[in-house]
Copies of this chain bind each other. A is one copy, B any other.
Amino acid sequence: MSVSANNPAACVLGVDFGTLSGRALVVRVRDGAELGTSVHEYGHAVMDDTLAATGEQLPPDWALQDPEDYRDVLRQAVPAAIRQAGIDPGLVIGIGTDFTACTVMPVLRSGTPLCQLPGLAGRPHAYPKLWKHHAAQPQADRINALAHERGEPWIGRYGGKISAEWQFAKALQLLDEDPGIYARADRWIEAADWIIWQLTGAETRNACTAGYKGIRQDGHYPSREFLAALDPGFAGFAADKLEHPVLPLGARAGSLTRQAAEWTGLPEGIAVAAGNVDAHVTVPAAGATGPGQMVAIMGTSTCHVMNAAELAEVPGMCGVVDGGIIAGLWGYEAGQSGVGDIFAWFAEQAVPPGYVDAAARRGVSVHELLSAEAMTEPAGAHGLIALDWLSGNRSVLVDHHLSGMIVGLTLATRPPEIYRALVEATAFGTRVIIDAFGSSSTRVTELVIAGGLTRNEAIMQIYADVTRRPLSLIGSEQGSALGSALHAAVAAGAYPDVPAAARAMGRKREAVYLPDEASADVYDQMYAEYLLLHDYFGRGENEVMHRLRTLRERVLAARAGQP
């Protein structure tokens, strides 16, 4: 049995399911104090090269996961976090979770993932497709073209384009490429909701993923007619495999089952909050639930989330959803598909031994060394402009087939300069997004940064200078897990709603980085150059990025003996 919600020692568990690992965090309900934490790395990490069960080579742009890795987080990380906190598990009154969005999987009516059925372990399409599975671009293209052709009302809510990452594109790829698996999938579900099913024993759906990734607007999925026009076999997709009452965020999805209590060591019957998404759940953790407070969660990619009182269509946004972040407000989402990923790529693939050795000698990371050296020069001194599309462009172009570009290279260009140009490019990309939100009802009034990149001072300063804004920083190192815990507290009845919980449990430090005027002036000029190149390469004036990608696929297919 668990204590009452107003016990001053009451705690909640927040569990954040990321791309490579899951983190559990024990949080005190009355003040948000973080008492203990533990991380469990997924045994199969990301399967983007081969399928672990068979060793089969996966096609380009695939990314799968193994759902048992998610259950292992419940079995490993949750008890370990409780132990680290040193509390009696009986003090825990609720559990909340967040997940990567667009990680979707085919399951039976019982919730069993198809990949766990006898004989299906060797079928790649039976596995969860991770958010960054980008092989459904042709299907996304079909969906977008048809939506515009038919004038579907919902397409404007997604900036005019849905992404290849989303439920519908991935499901259509499944139907196209493995109709047998498609037919056996009773339900098609976000991992964010599937994990709730594991905790409560019953299927639920949450307002966030249903709205942002499931194209559910004003209470409806895309029509049967629309789906039939994509493929007659797809007509019943939404009705058969998605349709389900949708819970508002912070709602109680159910109670912890005996099975899940055994896995986690938590009391049976405690509140389980509705599923949620890593980025969106960070907003209340940063105490930024008001209209105009944009939270940028900067990690391998960046997600920009913000509430507004009104509905507007922002060009290139990923989506606007009623109650998508906070019940009662319109939640806006935008994003950059590659950020920390790009810096990591550079550090691993483009930094010569002299720098790697110097970093080791000084006991710092290559990132720290490059950042420090890059900042010894004034803004503009490297003479470079990059486009930050090495992993495609989510907002505002919504095109995963774009690629990275750098201009201004000379024989005097040094690695820290290129590193800085890449950081600046991602900052320009953020500024494009802020500018896209520029209309009166969605104006950005405060920029709050969360995520792992907040630890890099050079990157933070560049973002302040490029955006000409003071940066607020989230006050927690585990924003997502804290946000999930906060939702658990609401689900358990400790607070009346999420904003109230955010005031008590969220944390934000204001104006931690201030823009430097001289740098900001230079960056204004460089931003103008970035925009010119952004539009030239990204808006159809020169389709070289798409043509190079097509050529690449063709020559690789030819070598593999395919037609």
Contacts and interface: CB of A to CB of B under 8 A. Distances in A.
Interface in A337-364: 338, 341-342, 345, 348-353, 356
Given A341-B411, A548-B529, A403 B383 contact: yes
A212 interface: no
A383 B548 contact: yes
A405 B403 contact: no
B409 A406 contact: yes
A548 B381 contact: no
A537 B407 contact: yes
A48 to B, nearest CB: 10
B548 A385 contact: yes
Given A407-B403, A533-B544, A544-B407, A549 B383 contact: yes
Interface stretch (A269-277, A321-329, A551-559): A551-559
B403 A409 contact: yes
Interface of A: 338, 341-342, 345, 348-353, 356, 378-385, 390-391, 403-411, 413-415, 522, 525-526, 529, 532-533, 536-537, 542, 544-545, 547-549, 551-552, 554-556, 558-559
Given A378-B556, A383-B551, A536-B536, A413 B352 contact: no
Given A353-B352, A414-B349, A556-B381, A542 B549 contact: no
A11 B554 CA distance: 57
Nearest to A338: B411
B378 A390 contact: no
A43 B529 CA distance: 43
B551 A380 contact: yes
A548 B348 contact: no
Given A552-B381, A552-B382, A350 B544 contact: no
Contact of A529 (B384, B526, B544, B555): B544
B350 A383 contact: no
A532 B532 CA distance: 16
A351 to B, nearest CB: 6
A413 B346 CA distance: 10
Max count, chain B CB within 10 A of own CB: residue among A345, A407, A551: A407
Contacts of A380: 548, 551-552, 554-555
B415 A408 contact: no
Given A352-B356, A551-B383, A545 B408 contact: yes
Contacts of A522: 551, 555
A352 B345 CA distance: 11
A407 B532 contact: no
A384 B544 contact: no
A290 to B, nearest CB: 35
A253 to B, nearest CB: 36
A378 B559 contact: yes
A542 B535 CA distance: 12
Contact of A390 (B385, B409, B533): B409
Contacts of A547: 525, 529
B353 A350 contact: no
Contacts of A352: 348-353, 356
Given A381-B552, A552-B383, A556-B378, A411 B544 contact: no
A408 B387 CA distance: 10
A143 to B, nearest CB: 24
Given A381-B555, A542-B532, A542-B536, A407 B548 contact: yes
11 contacts: A345-B413, A378-B558, A380-B551, A381-B552, A383-B551, A391-B411, A403-B409, A403-B410, A406-B409, A529-B548, A532-B542
Contacts of A353: 352-353, 356
A354 to B, nearest CB: 9
